[in-house]
Amino acid sequence: MAFVMVLSYSRQIFLRFFLDAGMENFLRGHVGAFTAWNGVPRVLLYDNLKSAVLERRGDAVRFNPTLLSFAGHYRFEPRPVAVARGNEKACVSYYTSFAWLMVMGTRREEARLPDFSFAMVKPSGTSQRPETWLSG
């Protein structure tokens, strides 16, 4: 699984690969991002991934209690992304796809993830598009 978190204003990106998509690794990804950024955002947006959202009916959202406890500990507010509002996800899907192509040399569906993980933080002052990070 690729864990990706993007800061909305600066577009700073944090990416880490894990061998599974379990809750423990989902939370570990958050801690890694907070550590890399030396802080915690006040609000984090989540789409309908099962690690975050257990149930959604209209505007009513039931978050995973483990995530709510984690959010209380780190003092951030989890918020759901509005349905059918891809612009609220801050290009996370784009960064995830790009990371798979750069690291694995293939699309995610075709990849076999080796036994490793790493973190990458977008260099400050660089373009939002990750392919330009490598040319500098």
pLDDT tens per residue, range 121-136: 455 555 555 544 443 3
With cut-offs at 50, 70 and 90, classify the pLDDT of residue 43.
very high
Q: pTM of the prediction?
A: 0.70
Question: Which domain range does residue 30 map to?
Answer: 2-130
Domain count, the chain: 1
Residue 18 CA to its chain's centroid (Å): 12
SS3 category, 85:
coil
Strand partners, 79: 45
| Cβ burial 4-42 (10 Å sphere, 16+ → b, else e) | bbbeeeeebbbbbbbeeeeeebbbebbebbbebeeeebe
136 falls within a domain: no
Is residue 13 within 8 Å of 6, Cβ to Cβ?
yes
135 falls within a domain: no
78 falls within a domain: yes
CATH number of the structural domain spanning residue 31: 3.30.420
Encode pLDDT of 44-99 as tens digits: 998 888 889 999 888 889 999 999 999 999 999 999 887 755 555 555 555 665 66
Encode pLDDT of 4-41 as tens digits: 888 888 878 888 888 888 999 999 999 999 999 999 99
| C-alpha span between 33 and 31 (Å, rounded) | 5
Q: How high is the pLDDT of residue 19? A: 85
